[in-house]
Chain A
Amino acid sequence: MAATTTWYADHGTQTGSPTKGTSRDAASDVNWKNADVQATTYSTVPITDGANSYEIWLNCKFTASTFNQISAGLFAHTSTAFGTGLTLKGPAACTGDGDRLLYTTPATTANSNLTTNMTSAIAIGSGVGVCFGATGPEATGKATSIDGTVDRYTNFLTTQLQVSGAAAGDTAQVTLTLQFNEN
């Protein structure tokens, strides 16, 4: 079997416990921008030099019964360099419930919980660890390996683009990779 995966991004005011976004939208392509609305065209809401983007609260769903088990998740920026004046921040490694990133309402202030510097493209093998669980990226029960009896979700794979001294215009289109083993 091959696992069926779908990317999502949470948006809006944090709600519930554990916290999640008000909405969760399928995300085939994402853009860092000065707005927390997925449908907003990025070019209409550019990030001012010296400021930061809203965080993007990505997560990946694995559809039930399309795999037996998934494990060894890794997340990293793997291709194409950013230009000068841009820093991409991301989540620290997740090893279980204790260190999974908890959703907070997206904002443009520098998110101090995003401790991984994802600016440089790196080998996926040196990416941050990712966990999997049921119900949603916010839920407890995250583990490094899990079966496919029900839908599974990664922890939040949140990123924020921070800007200081960048030239105006679009950034390079970079590749962020989620790697996992499955059987």
Chain B
Amino acid sequence: MATPIKTFFCAKEQKDTEHVLTTSPINAEIIATCECGEFVKFSANINREEFDRQIEAYSVANQGQVSTEAIEENLQALVD
């Protein structure tokens, strides 16, 4: 079976990225891990409709974050 991948918004990357879906061996919660390394957890045994609803809510809630890391990189780029 192919590795399940879901594309949705990454708070760190501030864009849609591919997330690999796995389950926690501790509590069976769904772990969606972005290619950047950040992950988001979802309830165990969530259905597709609720999963999509939570992803949409997550996307809305996290758009517009300006990381301090990005600010520092921009500053450094001004002098490099």
Interface residues of A (CB under 8 A from B): 48-52, 78-79, 81, 84, 87, 92-93, 108-110, 112, 115-117, 119-123, 125-126, 128, 162, 164
Contact = CB atoms under 8 A, between A and B. Distances in A.
A110 B42 contact: yes
B1 interface: no
Report whether over half of chain B's contact residues are helix, strand or loop; otherwise say mixed.
Answer: mixed
Nearest to A120: B67
A113 to B, nearest CB: 9
Nearest to B68: A121
B79 interface: no
A84 B54 CA distance: 24
A117 B24 contact: no
Please tell me the size bucket of the interface on B. 20 to 34
A122 B65 contact: yes
A6 B27 CA distance: 35
A77 to B, nearest CB: 9
B40 A51 contact: no
B71 interface: yes
Contacts of A48: 26
B69 A121 contact: yes
Nearest to A90: B61
A119 B41 CA distance: 13
Nearest to A52: B41
A116 B61 contact: yes
